[in-house]
Amino acid sequence: MLTLFEQIDKGTLWKIPGGIHPPECKTLSSHSAIARLAPADHYIIPVPQAGDAYSLTVDVGQNVLKGQALTHGEGFRYLPVHTPVSGKVIAIEERPSNHASGLPVLSCVIENDKQDTLVSSIHPRLDPSDVVKMDNEAILSRIQQAGIAGLGGAAFPTHIKLKPVSEIELLIINGVECEPFITSDDRLMQEHCDEIVSGITIIHQLLSPKRIVIAIEDNKPQASEQMRHALNRSTLPSDLAKVTVIPTLYPSGGEKQLIQILTGQEVPSGSIPAQLGILVQNVGTAYAIDQAVYCNMPLIERVVTLTGSHVGQAGNYWLPIGTPIDDLLGKTQYLGNDDDPLIIGGPMMGYMLPNRHAPVLKGTNCVLMPTQQEIAPERKEQPCIRCGECAVACPAQLLPQQLFWHAKAQEYDKAAGYNLRDCIECGCCSYVCPSDIPLVEYYRVAKSALKVEAEEKKQAELAKQRFDSRTLRLEEEKRAREEKAKQAANKRKAAMSNNDKDAVAEAMARIKAKKAATQTENVSDAPQDKVAAAIARAKAKKQTKTVEQTENSVPTQQEKVAAAVARAKAKKLAQSIAPVKEPATETPDPREEKVAAAIARAKAKKAQQTATNEEPGLTTQQEKVAAAIARAKAKKAAKAKESRNSDACDAAAPVLDAQPETISADEAKKAKIAAAVAKAKAKKRAQAQSADADSANAETSHTSALTAHCATDGSSADISLTPAQQKQAKIAAAVAKAKAKKLAQQSLTNQEHAPTEASIGPDSAPEDGVTLADAKSQKSATSEADEAQIASPAEIKKAKIAAAVAKAKAKKLTQESMLTNDQNKD
Amino acid sequence: MAFKLASSPHLNTSAQTKSVMLKVMLCAVPGVLAQCYFFGWGAIIQLMLAIAVAMAAEAAVLTSRKRQVWPTLSDNSAALTGLLIGVAVPALAPWWITTIGAIFAIVVVKHLYGGLGNNIFNPAMSAYVMLLISFPLQMTTWVAPTGAALNDVSLLSSLQIIFQGASSQEILAYRAGFDGVSMATPLDAIKTSLSTGLTIDEALTLPSFSDGFGVGWAWINVAYLLGGLMMLKLKVIRWHISIGILGSLFVCAGVGYLLSPDTHTGPLLHLFSGATMLAAFFIATDPVTAATSPRGRLIFGALIGVLVYVIRSFGGYPDAFAFAVLLANLCAPFIDYYVKPRAYGHRSSH
Amino acid sequence: MIEIFIAIGLLSVLALVFGALLGFAAEKFKVEGDPIVEQAEALLPQTQCGQCGYPGCRPYAEAIANGEKINKCPPGGTATMEKLAQLMGVDPEPLTATAETQIKKVAYIREDECIGCTKCIQACPVDAILGTGKQMHTVITDYCTGCDLCVEPCPVDCIDMLPVGQTVQNWNWKLNAIPVINLSEDAKC
């Protein structure tokens, strides 16, 4: 029994099961030397994990140098991305990816300045003696910083592979290239064998394996010849490294299959070759390692085979990573049409590119541009006759027909039972299938479904854990709270025995307050309109306050109770009024709103002094003008607003005192939310209102006087509520949305029944759309009508300035009113 | 997207179901010719009739199932089923025997189970068994092979017999090539002889065994063997099932012969008489109803061989391939379940 | 005549013996707990969303074990329903939810609109929302089960349920997801 190494030295090869011999078609591209294409204008570098695994180091507009890293990250798994040319970052945005799905991924777009200015860290080639002196950390860090990923196609970070947990005894350099059409590794081995071997030497220095095998298929005699010579020239001991020529068979270039051919061992399912002490690296990767370690040159270009009968200049090219595919087509005399397929990778495992703007990636070894004759015609899937050819061809010794059967029936767990995850997607089964079944596609769908399922299971497990821990926590909190409450109660009990008088007084006060409140509410219910309600409520508040004052024994507590009661009521009222208001918030666009706001604000300013002078008729006209200027389009909507404004005087106070939220409502947000819902209704109503407006105007002098009175009264309530403003505003808005429709209709009918007062009700609603801007000053905004003239020019800028001024004023005003409030309370 | 995205691989062999089926039919040509030679025009008439009826039935069912007719019909599977029924029924059986058989095979056995690829039982053999059980007289009345028959049957009279029916005297006359034994096949003859207390050696002296294997039948088997080898060469079938059948049949027969040469026929007679070669290469290899893995197929074939031997030697029917194949069909999913190949990277085989 | 009585007697004795045996076995090999509940719960997606009408996945699993319908879990979708049907040995039924609600979604808080009320945090059954009073909240997407429970309590309606987008990582390999319709072929049929 020979040991494995003896057998390797002897050149023993094992046979893999299955495999196929597809037409090679390699001569299309294998004869010419690796060339270069004229540089592209733009390069697209995908950075899909930016912000997640690493951060971008560049910004749009920044100049970058060739080889400069675009990302920065920490951690062992991090792999940087570099720019392949010097130039400017012109965009960081989602671009179609070079992936079978073509889904867009975040990418940096670099505009090429065609200077090719190298970044300073890249240096001329070092002497081998310098590299020998480097320690492993330095080499690994160079490889990592160069962003080297496996160039065979899978693009797994190389530095991770080069730092295995277990000892590597056998290093396999994969130069098999078993896919038809592709010749990039073949040409690279022929032209850059010395660099490849020096890369292998570096890996040897890192891992010191006992044997190194360079595996090359027997259809590449020149390449194996060149590699042999390069090995002889190198410093590697001759008994350590050898070139092994293996028979041509697809898919012997697969990592697992290659290991089986060279060692007869199988990589256990679900683990990696390192477990067997074997490491497989692609020749292209060895070359990139050489470049990274000797020149500190990052991986910014690779050899790509452009082949197929649709390309005029088939061959191998050094392509900067990030080169858009469509750019290549133009420069290599593409003969096909736009709807001819492009295949990234070989015909067996490659995928059709959905979008030609996608860039070349690190793992892109071939762009195949086939004619219809070169690839399988699109054939209709026929029923499986279970001929078993697929099972014979399968190199993983699976039963593809069973997998297919279950995958098609979406019994994915059963498919998993037939070792679906060991499928390497080599495509041998589909290749031999007489029924033209796209087996691999079924497996991929099944695999991704299984992945999703596993993910969901994990998610569910996590959710359950979190749910359980939350329930536990809540229970604990509850227990703690109860404990605390109990303690507090005990304490209070102890204290209570002394002064239960206080408690009695407190209770009495509460009852009285309630009574008073309900009484006033009963009164206010009768007229059933908002203004009256507001007035009544304001009065009620006053009453409660007087009640409080009579109950001087417990002043502070009493006050709090009253405040709470008032607040609760206000909330209630807010909710009932809000719906009415909602329709009004329809303000079709924020600009108009701003104008209106400015008007209102300006009005408010003057109103402080001249609260009684009002010319409602004028206001409406003025408003019309203003609105027309601001938004000539929405005349109808503007009308709604005028009527709103005309009524603003009367309604302002009630609205204000009922709903401090109007203060904050000047945020366009709210308007936005409600706008859509209310617009339609409001328009309709606005027309009805404009009719009413005239009659309403007649009454305004009366009502305004009333409301002015209310306002002063209400100020106390309104201020007390201000802390709750924002939140409530939003609550109101949310609640209002649902009710808006209904109420709008109601208010319409209300209007007709009680033209004078009811018209105020619904119109108070418009109020928040307009006066919302600075409802803080609304207390005085009751009689500002004439001020509209000031703002009527209604330029947005001006309005904005006015808004700023008004805001400042408003602040002041609130403070003032707070003061008065305090005084009131006292 | 202007073009349809296809999943890899983007290459395919030219092999397609229809070409596979066509090759199978072409490889059956030598055997069919031999049957024609020995049984007269009747064989070819039955063949044509069966193929025509099978394809018509297939078309009718596809239409009623609202499937596209031509793509499925052109996969030649119905034609192959028809061919197998055609060669299985006696050459001068009435036309309705063949018709019923072909319709049963296509409609009941194939399409009621879901069409091509979904049937559990081999359609041709199911139809044969159905006919054998339902119409035993017509199905066992084989015309005497020409080599032994006194009066050759012309094309016209064959047609007449098949389509218009023939009096039993006529048929008796046609197969009265040898001493009026009302048995058609050599295996039948042996069975009858054995049941009358003769030894194998004595039975083989009967006129129908004038060439040692039963007149004509051996040649027909040789012809089918030739076709089978052609299929192997063309890689239309894999060797596992055929070798499994022939091997196990040979071994069983050999053992039996060694133990009791008087009551058991020799292995060579087993291999070259009855439907052995036809079944081993053309019938049992139907992939739809067979086991799928190579090892499973070997077992599947061996099972058929054993069953054939058992039924031939101890059962009531002279030839047993139809029953053996159907029984093995039943076992195929079971075999598949337990005979999974060890997938790459899996050490233990479970 | 006597034979009949012997037969009857014998059979009665046999019935008694076996009945006793069965009873003994039922006691002796009694299964503690109700494993079917565990199994059903394992199948449920653990969103704890309450869309089934039960306050969480476990209560629903218990209800299923007691004969509740299996088609009330919209987050689980048809797949879960089928597995439950298999587990319970009943026929699969179409889901009560529409297809739209079966798309996996996660909550997303429009952060500039959030007022920091903590209401959604209290509603979240899996503690997937981060934030504190008066501070803007955010959803930890990885933990979010898309149960919808936080949407209702939000006073400012700033929580959206956004469908989980398809990325290169979770792409399902359904090439040609938009079916290509061959008109000429259709015309033929």
Neighbouring chains of C at 3+ CB pairs under 8 Å are A, B
Interchain contact A452–C (C-beta under 8 A)? yes
- Cβ pair A348:B10 closer than 8 A: yes
List the one residue out of A531, A604, A584 whose CA is nearest residue A786: A604
**Residue C158, marked binder:** no
Instruction: State whether A478 and A579 are in the same domain.
Output: no
Please give the Cα distance from A478 to C81 (Å, whole number).
36
**Alpha carbon distance B23, A1 (integer Å):** 47
Chains that touch A (3 or more CB pairs under 8 A): B, C
Chain A hits for B341, CB-CB cut-off 8 Å, are 391, 397-399
Q: Do A467 and C48 touch (CB under 8 A)?
A: yes
pLDDT of A631 > 50? The answer is: no
Residue of C nearest to B68 (CA): C189
Helix, strand, coil share (%) of chain C residues, nearest 5:
40, 5, 55
Find out whether C131 and C137 touch, Cβ atoms under 8 Å: yes
Cβ atoms within 10 Å of B217's Cβ, excluding its own: 26
Residues of C in contact with B5 (CB under 8 A): 175-176
Query: Taking residues A565-570, what's their average pLDDT?
Result: 51
A590 to chain C, closest Cα gap in Å: 17
- What's the rounded Cα separation, in Å, for the pair A87 and A300? 14
Position B129: which residue type? V
pLDDT at site B335: 92
Tell me how close the Cα of B4 comes to any Cα of chain C, in angstroms.
Answer: 7
Shortest alpha-carbon distance between residue A361 and chain C (Å): 14
Residue in chain C nearest B7 by alpha carbon: C175
Phi/psi at B206 (5° precision): -60, 155
Residues of B in contact with C180 (CB under 8 A): 4
Nearest to A775 by CA among A806, A737, A750: A806
The whole-number average pLDDT for the span A736-754 is 47
B314, pLDDT greater than 80: yes
Q: Which of A266-270, A765-769, C57-61 is predicted least confidently?
A: A765-769
Q: Which residue has the higher pLDDT, C28 or A748?
A: C28
Task: Look at B5 and C180 and tell me if their CB atoms are within 8 Å.
Answer: no
The answer to whether residue A95 is domain-embedded is no
DSSP letter at C179 equals: P
Shortest distance, CA A351 to any CA of chain B (angstroms): 6
How does pLDDT run across A598-611, given as a tens digit for each residue? 555 555 454 444 43
**pLDDT-wise least confident of A34-38, A107-111, A587-591:** A587-591
Residue A382 banded pLDDT, cuts 50, 70, 90:
confident
pLDDT of residue B229: 94
**C184 chain-B contacts, CB cut-off 8 A:** none
CB–CB contact B5 C176 (8 Å): yes
pTM, two decimals, is 0.70
C73 labelled ligand-binding: yes
CA of A85 vs chain C CAs: smallest distance (Å): 26
User: In the structure encoding, which two tokens stand for residue A476, read together?
Assistant: 């604990």
What average pLDDT does range C41-70 have in this prediction?
84
Position A503 scores a pLDDT of 64
B284, B115 in Cβ contact below 8 A?
Answer: no
* Chain B neighbors of C175, CB-CB under 8 A: 5-7
Contact between C85 and C105 under an 8 Å Cβ cutoff? The reply is no
What is the percentage of chain A residues whose pLDDT exceeds 70?
Answer: 60
Residue of A99, A381, A451, A730 to mutate when probing chain C, most C C-beta within 10 A: A730
C173 touches chain A (CB under 8 A): yes
With H, G, I as helix, E, B as strand and everything else as coil, classify residue A305. strand
> Which residue range forms the structural domain that includes residue A454?
381-490
- Identify the chains in contact with B, defined as 3+ C-beta pairs within 8 A: A, C
- Taking CA–CA distances from A670, the nearest residue in chain C reads C156
Domain C103-166 fold is Alpha-Beta Plaits (3.30.70)
Q: Is there a contact between A283 and A173 (Cβ–Cβ < 8 Å)? A: yes
Q: What pairs with residue A282 in β-bridges? A: A174
Q: Does B233 touch chain C (CB under 8 A)?
A: no
What lies within 8 Å, CB to CB, of B304 at 6+ separation is B241, B244, B245, B248, B279, B284, B321, B324, B325, B328
Which residues of chain A are within 8 Å of residue C156 when distances are taken between CB atoms? Answer: 730-731, 733-734
Q: Which of C173, C176, C189 is the closest to B4 by Cβ?
A: C176
Helix (H, G, I), strand (E, B) or coil at C117: coil
C120 annotated as ligand-binding: yes
Residues of C in contact with A444 (CB under 8 A): 173
Q: Nearest chain A Cα to B344, which residue? A: A396
Residue A53 lies in a domain: no
Distance CA A600, CA A774 (A): 8
The pLDDT assigned to A78 comes to 86
CATH number for the domain whose boundaries are C35-99: 1.10.15.40
Closest Cα of chain C to A551: distance in Å? 35
Question: Are the beta carbons of B292 and A388 separated by less than 8 Å?
Answer: yes
- Are both A392 and A289 inside the same structural domain? no
* Total residues found in chain B within this entry: 350
Domain boundaries, chain C: 35-99, 103-166
Structural domain total, chain A: 3
Q: In CATH, what number is assigned to the domain containing residue A173?
A: 3.40.50.11540
- Cα torsion angle, A118, A119, A124, A127, sign: negative
Average pLDDT value for chain A: 72
A541 by Cβ neighbours in 10 Å (0-12 / 13-18 / 19+) ranks as buried
Chain A residues lying within 8 Å of B16, measured CB to CB: 379, 382, 434-436
What residues of A are in contact with residue C105 (Cβ under 8 Å)?
none
Determine the residue among C104, C126, C151, C189 to mutate to test chain A binding: the one whose Cβ has the most chain A Cβ atoms within 10 Å: C126
Residue B57's contacts (CB-CB under 8 Å, 6 or more residues apart) are B78, B102, B103, B106, B107
B8 to A398: CB separation less than 8 angstroms, yes or no: no
What average pLDDT does range A625-653 have in this prediction?
A: 42
Q: Regarding predicted confidence, which is higher, A781 or C144?
A: C144
The reply, when asked if residue C189 is annotated as ligand binding, is no
Contact A183, A253 (CB under 8 A): no
Count H helices, E strands: chain C? 6, 4
Work out the pLDDT band at A766, boundaries 50, 70, 90.
very low
The reply to whether residue B17 touches residue A385, judged by beta carbons under 8 angstroms, is: yes
Q: How far C35 CA sits from the closest chain B CA (Å)?
A: 28
Q: How far is Cα C59 from Cα A536, in angstroms, rounded to an integer?
A: 50
Do A279 and A132 share a structural domain? yes
Residues 36-65 of C with CB under 8 A from A: 44-48, 56-57
- Write down which residue in A430, A464, A490 finishes a domain: A490
Contact assignment for B116 to A422 by CB distance below 8 Å: no
Amino acid symbol at A221: P
Considering the domain architecture, whether residues A475 and A576 belong to the same structural domain is answered as no
pLDDT at C121 over 60: yes
Report yes or no on A80 lying in a domain. Answer: no
Digit-coded pLDDT (tens) for A684-739 = 454 444 444 444 443 433 434 343 343 334 333 333 444 445 455 555 544 544 45
Asked if the structure places residue A147 within a domain, the reply is yes
How does residue A288 score in pLDDT terms, banded at 50, 70 and 90? very high
DSSP 8-state symbol, B280: I
pLDDT band at residue B213 under the 50/70/90 scheme: low
Interface contact flag, B287 A387, Cβ < 8 Å: yes
**pLDDT(A676) > 60:** no
With CA atoms as reference, report the closest residue to C81 among C67, C95, C102, C62.
C95
Write out chain A residues lying below 8 Å of B10, CB-based.
341, 343, 347-348, 350, 352, 368, 370, 375-376
Q: Would you say residue B281 has pLDDT above 50?
A: yes
- Paired with A71 in beta bridges are A56
Q: Which residue of C has its CA nearest to A468?
A: C126
pLDDT value, residue A290: 93
A300, A320 Cβ separation under 8 angstroms:
yes
Q: What are phi and psi of A418, to 5 degrees?
A: -95, 25
Q: Is C124 within any annotated ligand binding site? A: yes
User: Is pLDDT of A421 > 80?
Assistant: yes
**Residue pLDDT, tens place only, A70-87:** 888 888 888 889 999 999
Closest among A260, A261, A259 to A248, alpha carbons compared = A261
Together in a domain, A132 and A248: yes
Residues A712 and A584 in one domain: yes
Return the higher-pLDDT residue of A552 and A319: A319
- Please count the residue pairs, one from chain A and one from chain C, whose beta carbons lie less than 8 angstroms apart: 84
Rounded Cα gap, residues C4 and B316, in angstroms: 43
Tens-place pLDDT, residues B122-146:
999 999 999 989 988 777 766 655 5
Out of A451, A466, A490, a domain closes at A490
pLDDT at position A594 is 53
Beta-carbon separation of B345 and A370 below 8 A: no
Q: Does pLDDT of A289 surpass 70?
A: yes
Query: Chain A residues with CB inside 8 Å of B3's CB?
Result: 339-341, 352
DSSP characters for A266-287? Answer: -PPTTS-GGGGTEEEEEHHHHH
pLDDT at A155 over 90: no
Token duo for residue A53:
């695994």
| The pLDDT of residue B333 is above 80 | yes
Alpha-helical segments (H) within C102-160: 119-123
Give the N- to C-terminal CA distance of chain B in Å, as an integer: 45
**Bigger pLDDT: A746 vs A489:** A489
Of B310, B314, B342, B341, the residue nearest B327 (C-alpha): B310
Q: Are A284 and A171 within one domain? A: yes
Burial class (CB in 10 A: 0-12, 13-18, 19+), A397: buried
- Other Cβ atoms closer than 10 A to B137: 9
pLDDT of residue B341: 84
Task: Spell out which residues of chain B touch residue C176, defining contact as CB-CB under 8 Å.
Answer: 1, 4-5
Q: What is the pLDDT of residues B62-112, one digit of tens each?
A: 999 888 888 888 888 999 999 999 988 888 788 899 999 999 999 999 999
A733 close to C (CB below 8 A): yes
Confidence of residue A777 (pLDDT cuts 50, 70, 90): very low
Query: Averaged over A635-654, what is the pLDDT?
Result: 42
The answer to whether residue A316 is domain-embedded is no
pLDDT band, very low/low/confident/very high, at A645 (cuts 50, 70, 90): very low
Terminus-to-terminus CA distance in chain C, angstroms? 76
Indicate the SS3 state at residue A311: strand
Task: Judge: C172–A731 Cβ closer than 8 Å, yes or no.
Answer: no
Confidence bin at A28 (pLDDT 50/70/90)? confident
